[in-house]
Amino acid sequence: MNQLSPRPYWYLRHGQTDWNRAGLSQGRTDVPLNETGLDQAVAAGQLIQQALRAAYDTGGAGIVRIVSSPLERALRTASLVRDELVAHGLPVMALSVDDDLAEVCFGEQEGQPIGTWYDDWIAGHYTPAGAESFDVLRARAVGAVNRATEQEGQPLIVAHGALFRALRAAMALPANVRLANAIPLSAAPEPGGAWSLRELP
């Protein structure tokens, strides 16, 4: 399924890894957070708790659960965010894993410097050897987000950069836009099928 259900969610890319810092394609390689990434995850948790409190104060809706990629850099980020929310007096949120939120498999490009091939990959003109096509990534990303949002209340989805490019495409937004590490966003459907993204808080 490539149609994203018109239900809001919050999104967070994992904190920095050494491969991020070196400008290498990570893909499915399970690279852990570095010290900067750990600090970024904690800071993201602080931003999210501020945004939650602001939503509660105005009668708005915040997140009620966390759904993460199974890869260590995302799951560790999700755990640190949840811990930070609890440290600021918020309830413990359920944290679950959806394997379809794992980063794209980049095949032979994993561990290589990030190149200029993303536009061709997104357009379907090029897929690295052993990698997933953009269409396959988009289908599983959309399926995972739809599962996360079908329950009552908004989820925080903690995952990856290329996967968010696929979600941007599903939201009819320019796809090849880099998402910085550990910057929480809210995604909300608008009338007419459009989507809006904003940084929190």
How many degrees, rounded to 5, is the angle at CA 175 between CA 184 and CA 138? Answer: 90
> Annotated catalytic, 14?
yes
- DSSP assignment, residue 154? E
Distances (CA, A) of 168 to 5, 83, 134: 13, 28, 12
CA distance 37 to 103: 17
Catalytic hit among 14, 84, 110, 160: 14
| Cα within 13 Å of Cα(17), Cβ side | 23
Torsion of CA 36, 80, 43, 63, to 10 degrees: 140
Catalytic hit among 103, 110, 132, 160: 103
Task: Just list the catalytic residues.
Answer: 14, 103
